[in-house]
Structure 1
Amino acid sequence: MAELRPTLDVIAPFLNEAQSAAAFVALLDQLEAAVSQRFGMAMHKILVDDGSQDDGVERFSRALSGSWEIVRLSRNFGKEVAVLAGLDRSRGDMVLIMDADLQHSMEISLTMISELVKDPELDVVYAQNDRREASWRRSQLARLFYSLINSSQRFDIPENAGDFRVMRGAVARAVASLRDKRRFNKGLFAWAGFRQKAVPYSPEDRASGTSKWSRLNLLAFSLEGFTSFSVIPLRLISLCGLIAAFAGALYGAKVFFEVIFYGIAVPGYPSLLVAVVFLGGFNLALLGLIGEYVWVTLSESKDRPIYIVRDVVSGEFGRGKPGTAER
């Protein structure tokens, strides 16, 4: 009986990537040939359609070859959830997560796989963005974000590390077992632990279209990371409250001594209005932040599925039947 070859599962979530479908499939074909030749592994492709509105699924289906499947979600659930949907389908000995917009290169993918193959003690190899193209202000904001979110933690979220990584199958299944509904994959990968190693890389140019991550989306994503993995914002607000209370006490003492010893009249409405506006705005900000944490708690307490699969289209050598859809 022929010995089964180890399998590399490639998970690639996509959203409206019809224009880059042919180029990405060509990259996967080259990667499959290189993985087979260099590491003796078979490759299975798991693409996750995160509610695309174009004909990307049809284009990918026509272009893909070998062992593949496309998981179509019922709507757009977000990239973090789409990665989980791919992990749930994975059964490989190793799992590579990459984007379908061609910003994640085959060379870096092979480098990460090689690092994992040659070191049996290593569990995860992740690509770390060197951010050469980022502005100084954006780099400093990113550094501040990681400094704050890693404060008072038993684990560190690596700076500028995303989903582009390769891991052993046991690690992939361990991460898939974390069923957070409000998902922040950077934090989940770090929280899961295991022995990890970074490989620096510079993202390639997008094949087509523009990034789905606007500044507002990045801000919301950062807030979700804080509310999921850090209590630092609440502690900072509490510290600001203590400082405000201390400043108010000093101001009250100053007014008291001026009245008693110097006979200076107590300022009236201006000082009162400033205090009311400052403390009122501070309390509203605190209530909003607490509301974010309550919303995360409420989302986690609801017994809804994290995502819903519309169907699964499988290739000729896929894990499902050829050209069929699984509900």
Structure 2
Amino acid sequence: MTLAGTEIIPEYVFVDDGSTDHTLAELQALHREHTKTVHYRSFSRNFGKESALLAGLQATTGDYVAVMDVDLQDPPELLPKMLKMIEAEDYDCVGTVQRERRGQSRVRAFLSTSFYRVINRISGVHIEPNARDYRLMTRQFVDTVIELPEFNRFSKGLFSWVGFKTTYLAYESQPRAAGTTHWSLRQLFAYSIEGIIDFSDVPLKLATWVGSGSCLLSLVGLIIVMVRALTVGGSAAGWPSLVVIMLLIGGIQLFCLGILGQYISKIYLETKHRPQYLVREER
């Protein structure tokens, strides 16, 4: 939205993230009807939420930018209050937080709460629990977020990392206007892992601690075996226990390599310098 004196001139930017339904046709019709105020970007394929969010921010030109999901779970009636807080209280960003998660299973709610607890304990950046992407930001705030060059993006973390004066409004979650979510538990878990890796090196330290603890236990076990052999004599055969110990140590090694591999994969993607998204059509 752009301020022209006391008048607010809204501008709408829709991002079509490689949809396979009639979304693009609807956006084309809206643009023909409202050429100056309705714009869209349609991707060549599905690039994911983070790419779509970045594309939308990059396409905006207004003094203030609001991010909203099209399922209408984000109440538009909050926007005047958010704008008033930015203008009257000099905030750079007004975000939103859900008081409760209607229509969400207890398992998902528990996992979501646990994620915020974990990432806020191990990360140097505080991420507001249950924060939505729905927020109103100043032009300076948006430009700063856009300038961040990383390929692996976790927007909630980036919004917090850039700082500026930010506050949050709590609201009751709204039911979807239509459709169902395409986010499975597996996808949400992978997204959570990505956020943790992007904003914390604690998993790498954990691998070091686990490896060090394993070496220490092995050293203690070696000393016990040597002392027993010198004082009592040879020990009885214990193939089952030996196999279990070998599997345990092998599992620890693979666990640590897996953590290291996650970070290396992030580096690999960053060094490719591929674009975040490809636009098939834009108006």
- Please give the alpha-carbon distance, in whole angstroms, between the structure 2 residues aligned to 1:207 and 1:124: 26
Alignment of 1:152-301 (within 5 A): 153-263=123-233, 265-301=235-271
Query: How far apart are the structure 1 equivalents of 2:8 and 2:234?
Result: 85
Give the alignment partner of residue 123 of structure 1, picking from 52, 74, 92.
92
Given the alignment of the two structures, is residue 50 of structure 1 paired with residue 20 of structure 2, yes or no? no
Task: Determine what percentage of the aligned residue pairs are the same residue.
Answer: 34
Contact 1:148–1:232 (8 Å) recurs in 2: no
Cα distance change, pair 141–253 in 1 and its aligned pair in 2 (3 A): farther
1:238 and 1:267, CA in 2 relative to 1: closer, same or farther beyond 3 A? farther
What is the CA-CA distance between 1:89 and the residue it aligns to? Answer: 1.1
For the residue of structure 1 that corresponds to 2:151, the secondary structure is coil
Deviation at 1:264, TM superposition (A): 6.5
Distance in 2, matches of 1:243 and 1:108, equals 52
Report the counterpart of residue 17 of structure 1 in structure 2: none
Give, in whole Å, the separation in 1 of the partners of 2:225 and 2:100.
52
Output the aligned Cα RMSD: 2.3
- The reply on whether 1:59 has 2:26 as its aligned counterpart is yes
Report the equivalent of 1:6.
Answer: 3
Q: How far, CA to CA, are the matches of 1:153 and 1:288 in structure 2?
A: 20
Distance in structure 2 (CA, Å) of the matches to 1:43 and 1:61:
18
Question: 1:73, 1:308 within 8 Å by CA — same for their partners in 2?
Answer: yes
Q: Which residue of 2 aligns with 1:311?
A: 281
**How many angstroms does 1:224 deviate by?**
1.1
Is the contact made by 1:127 and 1:162 (CA closer than 8 Å) also made in structure 2? yes
Q: 5+ unaligned residues in a row in structure 1: which ranges?
A: 8-35, 314-327
Shift in Å, 1:181: 1.3
| Range that drifts further, 104-113 or 225-234 | 104-113
**TM-score normalized by the length of structure 1:** 0.78
Indicate how the Cα distance of structure 1 residues 154 and 226 shifts in structure 2: closer, same or farther if over 3 A, else same: closer
Does the Cα contact within 8 Å between 1:44 and 1:68 map onto a contact in 2?
yes
**1:95 paired residue number:** 65
Q: CA-to-partner distance for each residue in 1:93-142, whole Å, 9 max, x for gaps? A: 1000000011111223333223222212x111111122344555544433
Whether contact under 8 Å (1:72, 1:309) holds in the other structure is yes
1:212 deviates by: 1.8
* 1:15-34 equivalences in 2 (<5 Å): none
Q: Does residue 41 of the first structure (1) align with residue 38 of the second (2)?
A: no
Question: Contact conserved, 1:48 with 1:70, CA < 8 A, in 2?
Answer: yes
Are the counterparts in 1 of residues 108 and 185 from structure 2 also a CA contact under 8 Å?
Answer: no
Instruction: Count residues with an aligned counterpart.
Output: 278
Quick one: distance in 2 between partners of 1:249 and 1:140?
A: 40
Long gaps (5+) in structure 2: none
Correspondences of 1:103-118 after superposition (within 5 Å): 103-118=73-88
Contact 2:101 2:109 in 1 (8 A): no
Q: Does 1:80 align with 2:84?
A: no
Q: Structure 2 CA distance, aligned partners of 1:161 and 1:265?
A: 59
Task: Name the TM-score, length of structure 2 as normaliser.
Answer: 0.89
Question: How far has the Cα of 1:266 moved from its partner?
Answer: 4.8
- Once the 2 structures are TM-superposed, how far is the Cα of residue 152 of structure 1 from its aligned partner? 5.2
- The Cα shift of 1:173 comes to 1.1
Deviation per CA, 1:144-169: give whole Å up to 9, x if none.
32233234544312222131111101
1:69 aligns with 2:36: no
